[in-house]
Amino acid sequence: MSPTQRTHKHLRDRGFTVAKTEYFNWFSKRRVDLFGFIDTMAVHEKGIIAIQSTDDTHHAARREKILALPVAELLTRHIQVEIWSWGLRGKRGQKKLWTLRRENVGDTIRRPRRKKNKLDGQKPLALSS
């Protein structure tokens, strides 16, 4: 079962109406996502969620991909954008279970990211002319 299929099942079990927004382009032999990253749209009385589904090992790469797209910031103003990654987790020696990890990308986008300067926290240097 693929991560997208797991996501759809998880959402339907919780009463969401789910739509698959990715398709396979036979000419280019590639998958095409809505806005370049959305695999699933889920609608509930509480709102709309746009989801990028992946496995555990690609979670960080998907986050970087979404943050690099200008449309992602605009979407997070209006709907909830999340990354859902699925992985087998469990204690050593015990049965591993498929576990969901959710990350709201809107929280990352709304938090201003600034480059760290070597002189952060220090007084500015006085330059003489």
Rounded to whole angstroms, the Cα distance separating 37 from 63 reads 10
The ranges assigned to domains in the chain are 3-110
CATH class of the domain defined by 3-110: alpha beta
Contact 98, 85 (CB under 8 A): no
- In tens, the pLDDT along 78-127 reads 889 999 999 888 889 888 888 899 998 887 776 555 555 555 555 554 45
Q: What are phi and psi of 70, to 5 degrees?
A: -65, -30
Per the prediction, the chain carries an average pLDDT of: 84
The predicted model scores a pTM of 0.76
Rounded to whole angstroms, the Cα distance separating 68 from 9 reads 29
Beta bridge partners of 82: 51, 104
- pLDDT for 32 equals 86
Is the model's pLDDT at 77 over the cut of 60? yes
Nearest in space to 50 (alpha carbons), one of 18, 6, 24 = 18
Q: What are phi and psi of 49, to 5 degrees?
A: -125, 130
